[in-house]
Chain A
């Protein structure tokens, strides 16, 4: 397909402390006992996108991620891992790896996505419109990613409303406006010249940017070169391209670049456009109309692909999102997990040991070699590999990572226990996070706390 895929896998995201650590970069956080990055790789592989560059912030993290990739999928995919400096932003990261980019079009995917939206469709839309950039939009979750809610309770004070405001043309093909809802203080200002050219613009606040973009390489590199101050793709590069789509600075020599790369020339290009117009018997897009009206103008197209509402999409960028994803992947969106579920809608690894009178409810997962004592109850939770769980333990809506130890009589609700952590007897946790390797003393009752060594 001649698409190069860049996966921006980030580094140690500060939003996710204490879940991430030097040992576990964000990309390797387990979702149903698999690193989150594996979901992205699977998604791309299923769309036959196999030429991947994984960009990781920080050398250490890159080594960790690289190690995992080489063990997991080196035989199936052609993956390069590139390390970039920390805190350079997404645009900075792309600048750093610019020399790796050779294909005509670049698909950029955030490494923390758990979704079943086909990125191939974005690529196809991008190609069909010959766009400078194509953005995938998906429906904004109304109240948390799924209705099975109930977890976290008051944690959901974060308002999902108005995360992104996007403006679309009347056929929902082109992106005319984009702004981050949180950054708009009072007024949304819509550029009149674009509005006039398009006639109508639908402003939607119920769609959000899914951080899957297809860029024309020449355009992307030109913008990155020309605007050294741009740090973020979403906040700088994309709004810039959208804003300037009718008086493009970038596409002026883009045709030349294409000429070299593709052997296409302008004449043919025009013919292609013309034949498209004729064959579809549709009106030319407003870009073309605008261009022909003012012949000195260059335009570029910013397209959108709007994912079907039924598709699942979450970015793992907060602790709440981490909880939601884990719950959904073994619950409502279980087709993503790649596991086969038992008749009780749960997955209990054959090597796991359950004590007597212990129940594991639906939407649960019990990893390889884990042991659960007597009279325990596990509901809607993920338990990692080789965990040791005592007797009379209650685990609800929680994630317990590999090698954790939980003493007798503990009660855990809505919490995350990282790997190698230890809970002594009769600990009660509610909406807590326990850092990897941390030991929580016996008998404590905690609510909404974070346990970390510093």
Chain B
């Protein structure tokens, strides 16, 4: 599988000899993000080859690694490996004097963890990785120097064998509203030892704790007198690793994600006492393009020259430099621009692009060979290469891939992503946030996190060949003369839609979030355990009750299912009790809970059985109770349990006052007659209720006469004749 491409061929032999003298600086570049955030575009082309400000992402990463003094890069290709290798072969990277680029291919890997395991296995045969290495992904844009950092890492490693990784972080305050950074990633909570910079805790928001607090282990604080908890840091996904990292991945075959599994594993499971350290960069730039929002942000940073020297007017990877004009407008020398066209600040226009009359281009990047008709408005958008835009189109905050045709008068609403060669029909309005591709949305979305486009490379080719057929058959989704499928938003990704889009967050969403924060905050109080506050405080009671309630609810559901099945299939009472007992153990419930739940299920059954009048309902209930009283009797041996049943019943009546409410006394009497409830229990319940609110006493009042009768009966057993009249 992993055919290994030796970059420069035999010319490398001489360098191998030098390896003894000094440790080569090596890097592993993962040319696969193992995620699906750039779909549908990545179905057809690997993410690292997508252009950012008209240069493929991987070029930024390689150029930076070369500049930072890395001597050898292993490019790990997974999905679309052929495309990547082809690209690298055509580019000048293979013949670069200072940087050796080798590619490693593996189609089996579906995660960063698999990739590193594969590297490790290869390692044993060829021992490519000799020492510490830099681990980055191919979508990193940075200009930070690495040599000092690697030196720092090595020295730390010399002193402390266990310091196996140094992680680069950068300050970046996430918005207090959306709780996401400007790169569109979830907010990150890390805890660092302020002196040694050792990483103590790593938590990305959503995955671990949707709750309002960060949990730190107590032992952490006991062993460190001071812990710095940061929320304003951005993980740059640039790691300096020691060879142990590879073997750790090998040992822990379930590690997939670099952060979620590996870092967490090292921190939480405390494997062999390994430690991870952080390095904060201040003046240099480092960011990873994780989603469409970060694509937008990083593009702007490049245009604003934060990433110098990796800016459009400098040739850093064989790209043709553009000319920088006033107001940060980069323009190729051969652009044909109509005099009436208006190109606004911070825009980039590539080679061979034609811009028609009356066009308005603002804050946008336009690739090579595009042709733009007249009176087109393009705002905050990214138009890749060879795109045709006809007259009068409006494009706002969209990404338009290579070869797309947008017919006259079409409108792309904010957040639209058009994949390769899509055709948007005349006057068609593509709704906001739609993702459009010529390929149909894959239906089997198994574990969407891990698989980016692992198996799609082979399929892509088929699809592309059969493209024309599909265009005709299913053209209507983008207007009569359009071509492409609008993908449905996958489940649970509605949030991602606007969070990870190139479009700015709309105001109504902001308002919504603000509202949500208010709600969250009020929740907080019950969620955060009140430190030392008295238990009698209302909030803390809620805290205590929350979980058992949920548990009880689940338990009740299970019991209900069991009873229902028992009734339907006429299962023996012993077996049902056995089953309920099992549930009771697994949910850690009391016998009284079983009684309540069983009774609840029985009454629910009665109510659910079709009936026309109250008397029919009573008959239903009576027959069920008569039939299953043994089951109930099994759990109501004690007075407390019987009271629980009455309370439960009362609760049910309150919930459906029309159905069961009027029958309260009758059914209570029935339960008494069938010896399910003893009079002591009923009287005790009445006593307890006597002190309750008026509203709670409705049912007590309803059965007052019955209780009265019970009281008298207990005093003198004889007087039942006349009382029975009252009860009926």
Residues of A within 8 A of B (CB): 161-162, 165, 167, 178-181, 183-193, 195-206, 227, 229-232, 234-236, 239-240, 243, 246-247, 290, 293-294
Task: Assess whether A200 is in contact with B228, with CB atoms less than 8 Å apart.
Answer: yes
CA distance A322 to B14 in the complex (A): 76
- B177 on interface, CB distance cutoff 8 Å: yes
Chain B residues within 8 Å of A165, by CB: 221
Task: Assess whether B221 is in contact with A195, with CB atoms less than 8 Å apart.
Answer: no
Chain B residues within 8 Å of A246, by CB: 521
Min CB distance A184 to B, Å, is: 5
Task: Assess whether A188 is in contact with B215, with CB atoms less than 8 Å apart.
Answer: yes
- B570 on interface, CB distance cutoff 8 Å: no
* Proximity bits, B220-233, A CB within 8 Å = 1, else 0: 11101111111110
Chain A residues within 8 Å of B174, by CB: 196
CA distance A236 to B211 in the complex (A): 23
If over half of A's interface residues share one DSSP class (helix, strand or loop), that class is named, otherwise mixed; here it is: mixed
B531 to A, closest residue via Cβ: A179
CA distance A430 to B15 in the complex (A): 76
- B529 on interface, CB distance cutoff 8 Å: yes
Chain A residues within 8 Å of B469, by CB: none
Chain A residues within 8 Å of B227, by CB: 202-205
CA distance A122 to B228 in the complex (A): 24
Min CB distance B233 to A, Å, is: 8
Task: Assess whether B225 is in contact with A204, with CB atoms less than 8 Å apart.
Answer: yes
Min CB distance A110 to B, Å, is: 17
4 new A-B contacts at CB < 8 Å, known A186-B217, A200-B230: A181-B221, A184-B531, A189-B213, A201-B228
Chain B residues within 8 Å of A162, by CB: 218, 221-222
Assess A183 versus B531: contact at CB under 8 Å? Given A162-B221, A188-B215: yes
| 27 pairs of residues in contact across A and B, judged by CB atoms under 8 Å | A178-B531, A181-B221, A183-B532, A187-B217, A188-B215, A192-B212, A192-B231, A193-B520, A195-B229, A198-B231, A199-B232, A201-B228, A201-B230, A201-B231, A202-B227, A203-B227, A205-B221, A205-B225, A206-B226, A227-B537, A229-B533, A231-B534, A232-B532, A239-B532, A243-B528, A247-B521, A293-B177
Min CB distance B192 to A, Å, is: 10
- B698 on interface, CB distance cutoff 8 Å: no
Chain B residues within 8 Å of A190, by CB: 213-216, 229
Task: Assess whether A188 is in contact with B216, with CB atoms less than 8 Å apart.
Answer: yes
CA distance A239 to B536 in the complex (A): 16
CA distance A235 to B534 in the complex (A): 9
Task: Assess whether A196 is in contact with B179, with CB atoms less than 8 Å apart.
Answer: yes
Task: Assess whether B532 is in contact with A236, with CB atoms less than 8 Å apart.
Answer: yes
Size band of the interface chain B makes with A: 35 or more
Task: Assess whether A202 is in contact with B221, with CB atoms less than 8 Å apart.
Answer: no
CA distance A190 to B200 in the complex (A): 15
Interface centre among A183, A187, A198, A294, by most chain B C-beta atoms within 10 angstroms, is A187
Chain B residues within 8 Å of A293, by CB: 176-177
Task: Assess whether B232 is in contact with A205, with CB atoms less than 8 Å apart.
Answer: no
Interface residues of B in 476-529 (CB under 8 A from A): 514, 517, 520-521, 524-525, 528-529
- B173 on interface, CB distance cutoff 8 Å: yes
Assess A192 versus B225: contact at CB under 8 Å? Given A200-B230, A239-B531: no
Task: Assess whether A203 is in contact with B229, with CB atoms less than 8 Å apart.
Answer: yes
Picked from A186, A192, A290, the residue with its CB within 8 Å of the CB of B214 is A192
Task: Assess whether A230 is in contact with B534, with CB atoms less than 8 Å apart.
Answer: yes
Chain B residues within 8 Å of A230, by CB: 533-534
Chain B residues within 8 Å of A192, by CB: 189, 211-214, 231
Task: Assess whether B531 is in contact with A161, with CB atoms less than 8 Å apart.
Answer: no
Chain B residues within 8 Å of A187, by CB: 215-218
- B530 on interface, CB distance cutoff 8 Å: yes
- B642 on interface, CB distance cutoff 8 Å: no
10 smallest CB-CB distances across A and B, nearest first, come from A235-B532, A206-B225, A199-B232, A187-B215, A189-B213, A179-B531, A203-B227, A188-B216, A205-B221, A190-B214
